[in-house]
Amino acid sequence: MPENRPGRANQVSIRSPSTALCFRTQPFALRSPQYTDTDSGVDPVARFPRMADIVQRFDAPRVDDIPATVADQLKTLKLDQQIQAGETVAVTAGSRGIANIATILKATVDHLKQLGAVPFIVPAMGSHGGGTVEGQLDVLRGLGVTEESVGAEIRATMETVVVAETDGGIPVHFDRHAHEADHVLVVNRIKPHTRFVGDIESGLHKMLLIGLGKHNGAKIYHAAILTHSFSEIIASVAEQVLRSCGVVGGLAILENAEDETAMLEAVVPENFGAREPELLQQACRWLPTLPFPEVDLLIVDRIGKNISGTGMDANVIGRKFHDHKATDQDIARCLRIMVRSLTEETHGNATGIGIAQFTTERCVAQVDPVKTRVNCITANHVEVAAIPITLPTDAEAVECALQTIGLVEPENARVIQIADTLQMTRTRVSEAYFRLVESSPNLDFASEPYAFPLDDAGFLSDIPPAH
């Protein structure tokens, strides 16, 4: 890199928990409307750290031909021996922004049609979309899942049928349309859950419980977690669903750290319990990570239900075990988190915004309080609906956040900005990390250093796409 290359300036400060902190030598007070500390005459924004764009390299296997891979996998289920011509098959579609989901669902529908079956899509997303039919259809449309894109009817209802009761007395709810179908094929991504830890977290089993349980089932199962373990609920409810609801198989989706389809695998129902834990272990290995684990301020451009159940993946940002601070079990330790906006696809559902400590008025204006409230109460996770400290602009939110990171000069703060927790290949890091970037075999600079990237109105620029 040229003379101005990151890490060569003598003002760079690399800190670790064992090194001495830099003490502030100048006042850093809240900015007036003119963005100037009138007591010292210093513009606090001028003391924000320099930044640079970097690119991470991940182990990222990818499925090149998705339709062909889906067809090959579904053939292993030998559905032609179970499904007769003219029989209906309910195929699940969730609310997450799964890469290539419309293509995967269409390939599934096409395979079933070749068998002479009559497939249809059921929204399987618990209470998402505000717990309404139209809301859940809106969610699917936002993900590109329509009757035209998948080649099948979408049958949506919030009505459920109680198909059984577990030994622990928990009623087992199941989507009415799926229950009326001759067969059910479960399609979902396997990944670590944002709150619960176990051999099975988020995947085929969760779709059987929460997704197809709709709002009624989701409320009961999340309430039951207060007196039953997550693993116990999954095992007992899934056992009843697999026994009673005509499930003929599952299609497990795994993604790589670059938000691409990495693996597709069909699983027979009797192997759900044995195979899903193995797939979860692989999904954990492919999970994206922040470029550095120790962070003073993490800035997240956008959160949403299409990205994670908690808006931003708690596994990635270090909030799986506690909503507001990292623990020894987390892989990242972010002292402060700032959220800049909601995704369009989340339709105002701001679940997870309460994990952050700072946000802006522009972001709060995007929040649909009803959808957020319904989801967080149903999930019995009300803390993540709380609105953080709210400032008019990004500049003011960053300024306030940097006042709460300890005795650290703002220009020396460890700041990372990400687009979201699915898009982690390209990120933005502050000068405190520059030397570490240079020494890392998995990181490269994608830009020269530049001043903290605020426009004239005090708003940050978004992280540009990696490709």
Average pLDDT, the chain: 90
The DSSP secondary-structure symbol of 404 reads: T
pLDDT exceeds 70 at position 11? no
Q: Are residues 316 and 273 in the same domain?
A: no
CA trace torsion 296, 299, 304, 310 (10° rounding) = 0
Instruction: Return d(Cα 238, Cα 271) in angstroms, integer.
Output: 12
Instruction: Return d(Cα 289, Cα 421) in angstroms, integer.
Output: 8
Predicted local confidence at residue 223, as pLDDT = 85
In a domain, 232, yes or no: yes
Q: Are residues 186 and 221 in the same domain?
A: yes
pLDDT exceeds 60 at position 2? no
pLDDT exceeds 70 at position 28? no
pLDDT in tens, 432-462: 999 999 999 999 999 999 999 999 999 999 9
In a domain, 7, yes or no: no
Q: Are residues 276 and 301 in the same domain?
A: no
Cα separations in angstroms, 81 against 11, 84, 85, 161, 270: 70, 8, 11, 27, 16
- The residue-averaged pLDDT of 257-275 equals 96
Which of 285, 315, 341 marks a domain boundary? 285
The least confident of 194-198, 238-242, 254-258, 265-269 is: 194-198
Domain that holds residue 152: 66-285
Residue 209 CB burial class (10 angstroms; 0-12, 13-18, ≥19): buried
- The residue-averaged pLDDT of 56-82 equals 97
Q: Are residues 262 and 319 in the same domain?
A: no
In a domain, 155, yes or no: yes
In a domain, 299, yes or no: yes
pLDDT exceeds 50 at position 19? no
Q: For the chain, what is the domain count?
A: 2
In a domain, 465, yes or no: no
Of 289, 290, 416, 422, which is closest to residue 346 (Cα–Cα)?
422
Q: Are residues 179 and 314 in the same domain?
A: no
pLDDT exceeds 50 at position 318? yes
CATH number at residue 238: 3.40.50.11440
Predicted local confidence at residue 31, as pLDDT = 38
- Phi and psi angles of residue 336, each rounded to the nearest 5 degrees, phi first: -130, 145
Q: Are residues 204 and 75 in the same domain?
A: yes
Q: Are residues 78 and 222 in the same domain?
A: yes
In a domain, 229, yes or no: yes
Of 294, 291, 328, which is closest to residue 408 (Cα–Cα)?
294
The band of 41, judged by pLDDT with boundaries at 50, 70 and 90, is low
Asked if 128 contacts 308 with a C-beta cutoff of 8 angstroms, the reply is no
The DSSP secondary-structure symbol of 208 reads: I
In a domain, 393, yes or no: yes
Q: Are residues 117 and 52 in the same domain?
A: no
Q: Are residues 149 and 50 in the same domain?
A: no
**C-beta neighbour count of 17 within 10 angstroms:** 7
Instruction: Return d(Cα 135, Cα 140) in angstroms, integer.
Output: 9
Q: Are residues 334 and 199 in the same domain?
A: no
Q: Are residues 316 and 221 in the same domain?
A: no
Asked if 111 contacts 187 with a C-beta cutoff of 8 angstroms, the reply is no
Which tokens go with 178?
Answer: 């799926």
The least confident of 22-26, 66-70, 155-159, 168-172 is: 22-26
Which of 232, 259, 285 marks a domain boundary? 285
Asked if 248 contacts 83 with a C-beta cutoff of 8 angstroms, the reply is yes
Q: Are residues 269 and 205 in the same domain?
A: yes
In a domain, 453, yes or no: no
Asked if 164 contacts 71 with a C-beta cutoff of 8 angstroms, the reply is no
- The residue-averaged pLDDT of 108-122 equals 98
Which of 251, 285, 319 marks a domain boundary? 285
- The residue-averaged pLDDT of 215-226 equals 86
